[in-house]
Structure 1
Amino acid sequence: MFKKAIIALAAIAALGAASISSAYAINLGSARGTYKAQRQTSVAPIAFSLYCLDHIEECTKSSKSQVAYTSKLRGLLASVNRSVNRSIRPLNERRDVWSLNPAYGDCDDYVMTKRSFLIRAGIPTGALRVAVVRTPRGEGHAILLVKTSAGEFALDNLRKTIVKRNQTGYRFLNVASADPTRWTAH
């Protein structure tokens, strides 16, 4: 485990150094001028990087970055969200270890379990985006976003239903890109 942690930290440091200056602007436009919102490449959480060392197949970049929104997909997302929310009992962990299918876990364990189920159901990894957010109460939290042709939908252990990203009420801090190892700060 120590060797994996060292490797993950070295990879994170290299990615961080390479991406310090990489930012892109979004032209929001206006009648008076152009405003630009800056987004910078971010480093994945260390616990996510360690998870990827053990689950390489779930952390590879796929060729598809979104999926078609259909009633079948909507049903799959609702079913996975509901079943995982019921199967894991909430527990704030002392150590931040992202796990699959634990009996007890925190938000990141729900996220990774849902993500794994969806990958096994055929959803491309590029459409499954882990997001680190701040709740309206100011707490750190993690959710899973699924990018579809109808927008991004949030699977959340704090909700029984699937909602669109802009309906969560959360402030987004870091979100994985279509390449699960590359994240963006918001």
Structure 2
Amino acid sequence: MLFTHDTEIALQSAAALVNTMGPPDTLTTDEQLETFVRDQGWSGELTGERVELDEVRALRPQLARLWELDEDALVPLVNGLLTDARALPQLVDHDDWGWHLHAVPDDAPLATRMAVEAAMAMVDVVRAGELGRLRTCEAEGCEAVHVDLSRNRSRRFCSTACGNRMAAAAYRERQARQEDPA
């Protein structure tokens, strides 16, 4: 394991949140937010108020920058996310996760909890010198982000679907070259 379980989950959840920007945008309703929160296993309160959805949607471009910046530019962003939330790390144990860190209370706004979880995970990424594991999908036409947690740093695509699509395109291209060697 490269990172602790909670760091890996937080990184993958941040990537999933960034990828909801689309196209198409898949986080436009309270119901979609509720499904996202449930699918990502977020703990704490979910108010269901429109402001909550708006705050989470506004967080996405900030988190997207985590995949774009170099270390020198990334650190102030991460520190800002932690400072703005007045993050105070605490060890917690819930839901069979074992001991892990929470840095804001469970009743903090959802967008704040998401921002701090992503920032705390990025602290581990920077400290481990593993910023290169934050990647953008290499599939043509896909701009989704992902976290390469493979041992040999070989993950190129955000999903199996993109990998299969690119493999099929490469196969068709090889076939066409064999049929028409001119």
* TM-score (structure 1 length as normaliser): 0.28
TM-score w.r.t. the length of structure 2 is: 0.29
Query: Which of the two has greater helix per residue?
Result: 2
Which of the pair is proportionally richer in strand? 1
Larger radius of gyration between Structure 1 and Structure 2: 2
